[in-house]
Amino acid sequence: MDTESHSQLAGFIWAVADLLRGDFKQSQYGRIILPLTLLRRLECVLEPTKSQVVQAAETHRNKADAVRDKLLRNAAGQPFFNASPLTLGTLSATQTADDLMSYVRAFSADAREIFEHFEFENYVHQLDAANLLYGVVERFAATDLSPARLSNYGMGLVFEELIRKFAESSNETAGEHFTPRDVVHLTTSLVLTGQDDKIKTGGIVTVYDPTAGTGGFLSESDAYMQEVSGGMSVSLHGQELNPESYAICKADMLIKGQTVGRIKLGNTLSDDQLADQRFDFMLANPPFGVDWKKVQKGVVDEHRRKGFEGRFGPGLPRVSDGSLLFLMHLVSKMRPTKEGGSRIGIILNGSPLFTGGAGSGESEIRRYLLQHDLVEAIVGLPTDLFYNTGIATYVWVLSNHKTAERRGKVQLIDATARGSKMRKSLGSKRHYIAERDLDEIVRLYGRFAESDESKVFPVEAFGYRRITVERPLRLNFQASPERLARLGEQKPVQKLEAAEREALIRACASLGEAQAFTNREAFLKALKAAFAEHLPAGMKVGAPLQRAVFTALAERDAEADICRDRKGHPEPDTGLRDHENVPLDELVTDYFEREVKPHVPDAWIDKGKRDPLDERLGIVGFEIPFNPEESP
């Protein structure tokens, strides 16, 4: 069955919504159609051995649950079973709800849990109350979802289309539930290509997705490795936050014969349910630009308490975008290199490439990844690939066991022009990656050579030191009417008694409007003399009042003398303070003498601004300006 046929089948199934219209909101359609689709698929998978299972259920009805369940799974020839003699096609027209729920409860525990997460029973009773249940069930009973007609991969495509329709009908974002298959296929191919030492007949590997969605990455990686190897053991693991997506993923794993206990429900960032495990391959498409306020307390606590012993040692990104938290989570699950290492493929938006200056959480995370030589390649994808957004996206490929030629280097592949226009848009998805382009992108990666679309840079090319450049403070002071008016507006002056305020302004005015002091020490000396002559006895001029006078009567003057501190050092003018990013492979002093001094001869570097990790001059920063046409 081709993609078009899968879409037509999904459309046929979704047409059940016509029966629901008027009695249910659009946002509820998917909560009815999705679990019934799963139910019908499970029923079709179990159909060849149903009579044996029903007979075994009767024979072993008095045995302990654990023993009985094992015997029934053996009879079913699947990792799940249904012990009821009922089918969707044999439910009673008069007590459909009771029969249906009896049928669902006869599934083994892992399958039964799927329907609980859909709150299936609640919707069954709503359908029954609206006199719609029997008609809806009839439609599904007549739909052929057998493995003979529809492979597991094909069933995944149908699921995807149904979820997209569900997302659109309920104004949710489809991209939060699943990743388009072309993007899944590309990312999986990039991560798994060249891994012949692990992907081989009889091989054993583990795959993990912390944002599993409906299981697209898990299914695709399994299919890829089985095809390439000719048969191997692939253990799939994942965690998913959305109950419906989790339910679909778990059903898919059941059908494939996977251990469904390896698929977890919950928030990966706040409750990692596979905390102590490491994996060979990891694939993920975390939500783009989603904030992590809900889990902020736990994440910050782990960062502070565990440091590099936890997942978030290098730093934390801003709360508005948690993408890099998922990336660091994956890095923490890499196998040690001596145990074969790991490879990661993660889809991110543009923000993780450059957001955050030197010293920020984002920059420190990039620094950790690059200086530990974990980033192998980044591929810029065409826009409009996803169902819920048209933004620029990138595939990051990471490894802690790079080949010799890739060590210390990062490959940037510009595949932004390799999108094909879809005949019909699906949400925001207007482009797809055709097979020929997908193959060429993987070849570009595999060749690891310079071309119009592929550039290779040393890790250091993405780093810099941010130095603080200071220039001296130069002020003139004058008791002009405009400046005296500013003096009267200063809060410390306004707080004075009227007589003292008038005396202060009179003292400053005595300096003379015509004279402008270009030396601060000379001005201060004249000011003290004016205070002594014009201020009433006992009136104190403390630091706040003196600052108010300086603020009001001073103005910057490039021709004035430099203001100096008590030790004779030039004082910096904060208004002229600037920063320079010095390439990491260049001496700060050489750069300063060449790029700064010729333009501002009186400038100097603030030597107090040093990197907290290496204690050298300047704060280290890393960013990846994705433009393969030019070096960073």
pLDDT of residue 254: 82
Structural domain contains residue 630: no
Residues 26 and 87 in one domain: yes
Nearby residues of 378 by Cβ (< 8 Å), 6 or more positions away: 353, 394, 395, 396, 397, 410, 411, 412, 413, 624, 626
- Examine the fold and report which residue of 556, 582, 601 is the final residue of a domain before the chain moves on: 556
Segment 146-172 mean pLDDT: 75
Residues 217 and 155 in one domain: no
Structural domain contains residue 562: no
Structural domain contains residue 82: yes
Residues 204 and 91 in one domain: no
Q: Are 298 and 270 spatial neighbours (Cβ–Cβ below 8 Å)?
A: yes
Confidence band for 141, pLDDT divided at 50, 70 and 90: very high
Segment 43-57 mean pLDDT: 96
Residues 546 and 415 in one domain: no
Higher pLDDT among residues 512 and 96, named by residue: 96
Nearest alpha-carbon partner for 13 in 42, 39, 41, 37: 37
What gap in Å lies between CA 537 and CA 604, rounded to an integer? 44
pLDDT of residue 181: 82
Nearest alpha-carbon partner for 471 in 375, 402, 396, 570: 570
Domain that holds residue 109: 3-169
Structural domain contains residue 488: yes
Structural domain contains residue 466: no
Structural domain contains residue 578: no
Which tens digits make up the pLDDT trace of 277-330?
A: 999 999 999 988 889 999 999 999 999 999 999 999 999 999 999 999 999 999
Does residue 1 have a pLDDT over 60?
no
Segment 104-124 mean pLDDT: 93
Which tens digits make up the pLDDT trace of 412-459?
A: 999 999 999 988 877 778 899 999 999 999 999 999 999 999 999 999
Percent of the chain past pLDDT 70, that is, above it, reads 97
What is the total count of domains within the chain? 3
pLDDT of residue 557: 96
Percent of the chain past pLDDT 90, that is, above it, reads 79
- SS3 label, residue 172: coil
- Examine the fold and report which residue of 134, 169, 204 is the final residue of a domain before the chain moves on: 169
Residues 157 and 204 in one domain: no
Confidence band for 174, pLDDT divided at 50, 70 and 90: very low
Residues 147 and 189 in one domain: no
Residues 283 and 374 in one domain: yes
Confidence band for 244, pLDDT divided at 50, 70 and 90: confident
Residues 284 and 352 in one domain: yes
What gap in Å lies between CA 457 and CA 412, rounded to an integer? 8
Query: What's the Cα-to-Cα distance from 526 to each of 43, 217, 543, rounded to whole Å?
Result: 98, 78, 17
pLDDT of residue 179: 80
Segment 584-605 mean pLDDT: 96
Confidence band for 470, pLDDT divided at 50, 70 and 90: very high
pLDDT of residue 168: 63
What gap in Å lies between CA 73 and CA 80, rounded to an integer? 6
Residues 274 and 374 in one domain: yes
Nearest alpha-carbon partner for 278 in 320, 240, 249, 235: 235
What is the pairing mode between strands 204-209 and 281-284? Answer: parallel
> What single DSSP character describes residue 564?
B
What gap in Å lies between CA 386 and CA 579, rounded to an integer? 38
Does residue 570 have a pLDDT over 80?
yes
What's the predicted TM-score (pTM) here? 0.85
On average, the pLDDT of the chain sits at 92
pLDDT of residue 30: 87
Segment 13-23 mean pLDDT: 92
Which tens digits make up the pLDDT trace of 182-212?
A: 999 999 999 999 999 999 999 999 999 999 9
Residues 409 and 282 in one domain: yes
Which tens digits make up the pLDDT trace of 320-377?
A: 999 999 999 999 999 999 999 999 999 999 999 999 999 999 999 999 999 999 999 9
Confidence band for 171, pLDDT divided at 50, 70 and 90: very low
Residue 506 burial (C-beta neighbours within 10 Å; 0-12, 13-18, 19+): middle
Cα 512 from chain centre: 64
- Examine the fold and report which residue of 556, 574, 600 is the final residue of a domain before the chain moves on: 556
Indicate which CATH number applies to the domain containing 149. Answer: 1.20.1260
Structural domain contains residue 418: yes
Residues 416 and 523 in one domain: no
Structure tokens given for 563: 């203001």
Structure tokens given for 470: 């200071």
What gap in Å lies between CA 331 and CA 346, rounded to an integer? 11
Residues 240 and 332 in one domain: yes
Cα 71 from chain centre: 44
Which tens digits make up the pLDDT trace of 556-568?
A: 999 999 999 999 9
Indicate which CATH number applies to the domain containing 284. Answer: 3.40.50.150
Nearest alpha-carbon partner for 342 in 280, 299, 391: 280
Structural domain contains residue 470: no
pLDDT of residue 539: 92
Q: Are 216 and 156 spatial neighbours (Cβ–Cβ below 8 Å)?
A: yes
Confidence band for 169, pLDDT divided at 50, 70 and 90: low
